[in-house]
A and B are shown apart, each in its own frame.
Chain A
Amino acid sequence: MRYTVKTAGDQSIIINFGEQINEQTSQTVQKLSNIIESNGIIGVEEVVLGYTTLLINYVPTKISYDTLLSTIKVLLKDIALTKMEERNTIEIPVLYGNEMGPDLVDVAKLNHLAVEEVIKLHTEPDYSVYFLGFSPGFPFLGGLNEKIATPRLENPRKKVQAGSVGIANYQTGIYPVTSPGGWRIIGHTPIPLFNSNDADPFLLSPGDIIKFKSITKKEYDEIINSRP
C-alpha cells in the first residue's frame, strides 16, 4: 500500500493515496475512514474524505503525533485484507430538460449529440459516491461518460435550486441545498438529499452507488405531491 502522510496544521494529518481519481483509490480512502471510525481511537475526533486523501483531526493533548502515526500505520496494514462494506444502490429520479434542466440543450449541442442521447448516456452508468463535501450532502461522483463532459458555465448562476442535477467537466452531481453554482444544469430530482429535520439527514454516504432514472413530468409531480 503506497501512501504519504502530511501534517496539516497542528491538529490534523492527511493520508494521501496518490493523485489519480479512481474507484480503487476511493475505496482505500473509504476503508481507512471506516476502520478509524470503528476503532474509536481516543484523541481522534473526525475524518474527512477526499478523492485520494483522508484528513484526520486529532487532539494533541489526548494522543501524541507519534502514537497517532504508528496507530494509523498498523491500521493501514489491515486495509488490503478489509472488504468493502456492502454498498447501497440508490436510484435518483430526474426530470431532464426544459425549465428544470435549462442547460440540457447546450450540453447536447456542445457534444454534438441529441438531447435524448445525453439523457441516455447520463442514466446508463453506476456512479460511485467518492465522498461528500462543499455543501451538506453534495456528492462527488465517479463514472460520468466522457461523451457528455461539458465545461462549467462562464457566468455562474447566483442561485441554483436544491435538487438540480448538473455537469461540470468530467463530474456530475446534485445540489443538495440552494446555492450559487457554475455547473450546467440538465435536470432536477424531486428527492431531497439533505433534510436537517430527519434523524438521518443525508440521503447519501461515501461508497454508495447511485443510478439516475429519467422520469416524466407526471411522475415528478407525483413524487413531489407524495412528500409530507
Chain B
Amino acid sequence: MILIFNVIKPGLLTTIQDLGRKGYQKYGMSVSGAVDHYAHRIANILVGNQENAATLEVTLIGPTFKVLETRTIAITGADLTPYLNNCPVPLWRSFTVHEGDILSFQGYRSGCRAYIAVAGGMDAENTLGSKSTDLISEIGGHHGRRLTKGDTIKATNVQANNEKCFARRLSIELIPTYTKNVRVRTILGPQEDSFTTKGIETFLSSEYTVTKDSNRMGCRLDGPTIEHKNDADILSEGLFMGAIQVPQNGQPILFLSGRPSVGGYTKIGGVISVDLPKVAQLKPNDRVSFEIVTLDEAHEKLRKQENIIKILQAGI
C-alpha cells in the first residue's frame, strides 16, 4: 500500500468505486459501484488492472490532487479537461504521473462522470466484498463518504511491470461520444401491462429532460405524463440497473447503481446493458428518449461488446 494522491480540492462528488457490492441486495443493501461500468472497466484495462479494481468516480466538477508517488494512471469517461501541471492530458489513454505533480480538472466539456484508474488499483475499505462507497449506508471506499480536502488516497502495490502499459490508448472507434440528447434502447416490462396504450406511446415518442434531483441513485426525468391504467403502486419487488420506474405522477425515474434494492412503483421498461453508459453520462438538462429492442438484439449487442473488452483485457 502506498500513498498516491493528496486531495487539494475534492470536486463536486468524488468517490471510490468498483463494480459493486454483489450478493447483499437481498439484505437491503444498495449494489453501489461505478455508474458507468464501461468507462470504469476501460480505465482499469488501460493501466493493466483487473477490471474490478477500485477507481475514483469524479462528477461534473473534477478534483485537484497532489501526486505523492510516481505511477501510471488513466482517465476515462466525461471530459472535464484534465491537466497535469500546466499541460492538458488525454482521456482514454494511460500516462505517468510523477511525485509532486498536480493533477487537476480545468472545466466541463462533456458527459457527467469521469474515472481515474491507478496502476495497482485504489486501496480502500473493503466492506462486504467491495470497495465501492455506499453513501447511504456510509460504508466502503474512503470511510464510506465522498472525498474532502486534505484526504490522502492510497493505492495498492503494483505487481506487474509498471512500464508495460505506459501510454496505452483506446482505439478511437471504441471511445464513446457524449451528447446532450441521447436515444437509448429499452426492453419493455416488467409492468408494461399497468400502462395504457397511450401511456406506452407517450413513453416511446417523447423526450424527457434530466432534472437537478438526479444523482448516483437515479436520473429523475421530466416530460409528458405517462398514463397508467389504474394504480402506480405494486407490491415492493427487486429493482434492477436501468429500470425505468413510473410513479403516479407519470414522470419516469431511471435507476442507476446507487439505487435501493427494492421499489414499490410500476416499471415500464429497462435500458439495455450496452446503453447504460449513455445514461450514466447524462447530467441535468440533458434529454433522453427511448426506443424498444428485442431481448435477442440486446444480448447480441452485449456479446459483441464483451468480446471487444475480452480482447482488450487479453492485450495487457
**Residues of A that sit less than 8 Å from B by CB:** 6-12, 14, 16, 19, 21, 33, 45-55, 57, 60-61, 64-65, 131-138, 140, 176-177, 179, 194, 196, 201-202, 205-206
> Given the complex, which residues of B lie within 8 Å of A57, measured CB to CB?
240
Is the CB–CB distance between B241 and A9 below 8 Å? Answer: yes
Chain B residue nearest to A50 (CB atoms) is B237
- Kindly list 12 other residue pairs between chains A and B, CB separation below 8 angstroms, not including A10-B299, A132-B26: A7-B295, A21-B235, A53-B235, A64-B299, A65-B299, A133-B262, A134-B261, A137-B27, A137-B28, A179-B136, A196-B144, A201-B27
B315 located at the interface, meaning its Cβ lies under 8 Å from any Cβ of chain A in the complex:
no
Is the CB–CB distance between A46 and B190 below 8 Å? Answer: no
8 interchain residue pairs of minimum CB distance: A55-B238, A9-B270, A48-B238, A50-B237, A133-B262, A6-B190, A10-B298, A51-B235
Knowing A46-B25, A46-B26, A60-B302 touch, does A19 contact B235 (C-beta < 8 A)?
yes
Complex Cα gap A202–B128 (Å): 11
Knowing A10-B187, A48-B261 touch, does A133 contact B28 (C-beta < 8 A)?
yes
Knowing A9-B243, A10-B273, A132-B26 touch, does A52 contact B298 (C-beta < 8 A)?
no
Knowing A136-B29, A206-B26 touch, does A196 contact B241 (C-beta < 8 A)?
no
Is the CB–CB distance between A55 and B240 below 8 Å? Answer: yes
> Given the complex, which residues of A lie within 8 Å of B127, measured CB to CB?
196
Would you give the shortest CB distance from B184 to chain A, in whole angstroms?
A: 12
Is the CB–CB distance between A54 and B271 below 8 Å? Answer: no
B22 located at the interface, meaning its Cβ lies under 8 Å from any Cβ of chain A in the complex:
yes
Q: Mark B50-61, 1 if CB is under 8 A from A, else 0.
A: 000000000000
26 CB < 8 A contacts A-B:
A8-B189, A8-B238, A8-B243, A9-B187, A9-B269, A10-B273, A12-B240, A14-B238, A48-B25, A48-B26, A51-B235, A51-B237, A53-B235, A55-B238, A131-B236, A131-B262, A133-B238, A135-B137, A136-B27, A138-B28, A176-B28, A196-B127, A196-B138, A196-B139, A202-B27, A206-B26
> Given the complex, which residues of A lie within 8 Å of B302, measured CB to CB?
10, 60-61
Is the CB–CB distance between B238 and A53 below 8 Å? Answer: yes
Knowing A8-B267, A8-B270, A60-B299 touch, does A140 contact B236 (C-beta < 8 A)?
yes
Complex Cα gap A71–B271 (Å): 25
Where chain B touches its partner, the secondary structure class is mixed
Would you give the shortest CB distance from A198 to chain B, in whole angstroms?
A: 10
Complex Cα gap A135–B240 (Å): 16
Would you give the shortest CB distance from B38 to chain A, in whole angstroms?
A: 14
Is the CB–CB distance between A33 and B273 below 8 Å? Answer: no
Chain B residue nearest to A6 (CB atoms) is B190
**Interface residues of B toward A: which range?**
35 or more
Q: Which of B24, B27, B271 contacts A9 (CB 8 A)?
A: B271
B11 located at the interface, meaning its Cβ lies under 8 Å from any Cβ of chain A in the complex:
no
Is the CB–CB distance between B272 and A9 below 8 Å? Answer: yes
Q: Which of A6, A33, A51, A176 contacts B189 (CB 8 A)?
A: A6
Chain B residue nearest to A10 (CB atoms) is B298
Complex Cα gap A16–B241 (Å): 19
Complex Cα gap A136–B260 (Å): 9
Is the CB–CB distance between B262 and A134 below 8 Å? Answer: yes
Complex Cα gap A140–B263 (Å): 12
Interface centre among B128, B236, B237 (most CB of A within 10 A): B237
Would you give the shortest CB distance from A205 to chain B, in whole angstroms?
A: 8
Q: Mark B123-161, 1 if CB is under 8 A from A, else 0.
A: 000011000000011110000100000000000000000
Complex Cα gap A123–B303 (Å): 54
Complex Cα gap A177–B298 (Å): 38
Complex Cα gap A61–B307 (Å): 10
> Given the complex, which residues of A lie within 8 Å of B120, measured CB to CB?
none
> Given the complex, which residues of B lie within 8 Å of A11, measured CB to CB?
240-241, 273
